[in-house]
Amino acid sequence: MARYILGRLLGLVFILFAVSLITFLLMRSVPGDPFASGERELPQKTQEARERKYGLDKPLWEQYVRYMGNALQGDFGVPFQSPTETVSGLIARTWPATIKIGIPTILVSFVLGSLLGFVAALRQNSWLDYAVTFAATLGLVVPNFVIAIWLILLFSARFDWLPPGGWGEPEHYVLPVIAYSLAPTALVARYTRASILDVLRADYVRTARAKGLGERRVLLGHVVRNAMIPFVTVLLPEVPNILTGSIFIESTFRIPGLGRFFVNSTFSRDYPMILALVLLVAALWGITYLLTDLLYTVLDPRIRLTGGALR
């Protein structure tokens, strides 16, 4: 297993370099000036001074080599949209708020979604199954910012139970977590239901019941464990998406998180911020898939990690 993990980590390093190169070339191929005011052009000398300050007057290959050399030392540059701090400092300042919303969202989504999907599968074609399926479909098709507005109108404007936004107090977490977790909960419920139903129809489950095993032992010993493999495959990659924030949720509830910088850096052509955020997401995805493969061996002892692949 140690050899497998080392191989995957080395592969992740190669992927990060490839992603950084592709992202660098793509963002420089987009026409536009990151320092354009939108209303009037900057004086030529001012423009040249800014380009020299950020190294944009150098050839592309030199800019990339310099950036990656600094990145390997933990220096990701200075964000154009916030020149008084570094990219690393900006991420360190804003990401904790996003994580504080993301972790409760993951817990609520996975626990509640799994429970609903499990119950719906055991009560297939009942009113409960139809209710869960309808709610899951609604949670997937309705955008989270629409749900956020509904929650504010209901719990803040009408009943005045919770604040409509803000940050720092426990009550500020409630509405954002609810709005943010509905879509992942719906996704978890749907995949859990489908996985459970697929396993319930398997031959080994019918055999276990034919041998006289109790229903509880069949469900816990055969159904749930085998249903977790497709569950893990599909749903764990949702974790990086949640932990990197949502611009709609953070903007609606005035959360000082990282999500809005994903979009703002793209629109403002903030090159250092774009590269740093893309590398952050790529690293999270790589680590998540590695953890997914390791979980396979826990859920199914027949799976082995050899070399660089699952067996």
User: What contacts 174, CB < 8 A, 6 or more positions away?
Assistant: 162
Tokens at 176, concatenated = 């954002």
User: What contacts 19, CB < 8 A, 6 or more positions away?
Assistant: 278, 279, 282
Query: For position 11, what pLDDT does the model report?
Result: 83
Rounded CA-CA distance 289/60 in Å is 32
Tokens at 148, concatenated = 């956020």
Q: What is the largest CA-CA distance in the chain?
A: 85
Is the separation of the CB atoms in 24 and 64 below 8 Å? yes
Mean pLDDT of all residues belonging to the chain: 79
Rounded CA-CA distance 213/215 in Å is 7
Q: Look-up: residue for tokens 């959360």?
A: 255
Rounded CA-CA distance 20/41 in Å is 30
Tokens at 185, concatenated = 């909960």
Q: What is the pLDDT of residues 4-34, one digit of tens each?
A: 778 778 888 888 889 889 988 888 777 766 6
The arithmetic mean of pLDDT across residues 263-282, rounded, is 82
Q: What is the pLDDT of residues 59-91, one digit of tens each?
A: 788 888 888 888 888 888 888 777 788 888 888
Other C-beta atoms lying within 10 Å of the C-beta of residue 114: 23
Is the separation of the CB atoms in 81 and 268 below 8 Å? yes
Is the separation of the CB atoms in 270 and 81 below 8 Å? yes
Q: What is the pLDDT of residues 192-203, one digit of tens each?
A: 888 888 777 777
Tokens at 286, concatenated = 């790589």
Distances (CA, A) of 156 to 109, 119, 164, 168, 255: 23, 32, 6, 17, 16
Domain ranges of the chain: 88-258
Q: What is the pLDDT of residues 235-270, one digit of tens each?
A: 777 788 787 767 778 888 888 888 777 777 777 778
The mean-pLDDT minimum among 47-51, 110-114, 148-152, 170-174 falls in 47-51
Q: Which fold is adopted by the domain 88-258?
A: MetI-like fold (1.10.3720)
Tokens at 72, concatenated = 């390997």
Tell me how many degrees the CA angle 169-173-179 measures, rounded to the nearest 5: 155
Confidence of residue 47 (pLDDT cuts 50, 70, 90): low
What percent of the chain lies above the pLDDT cut of 70?
A: 83
Query: For position 36, what pLDDT does the model report?
Result: 61
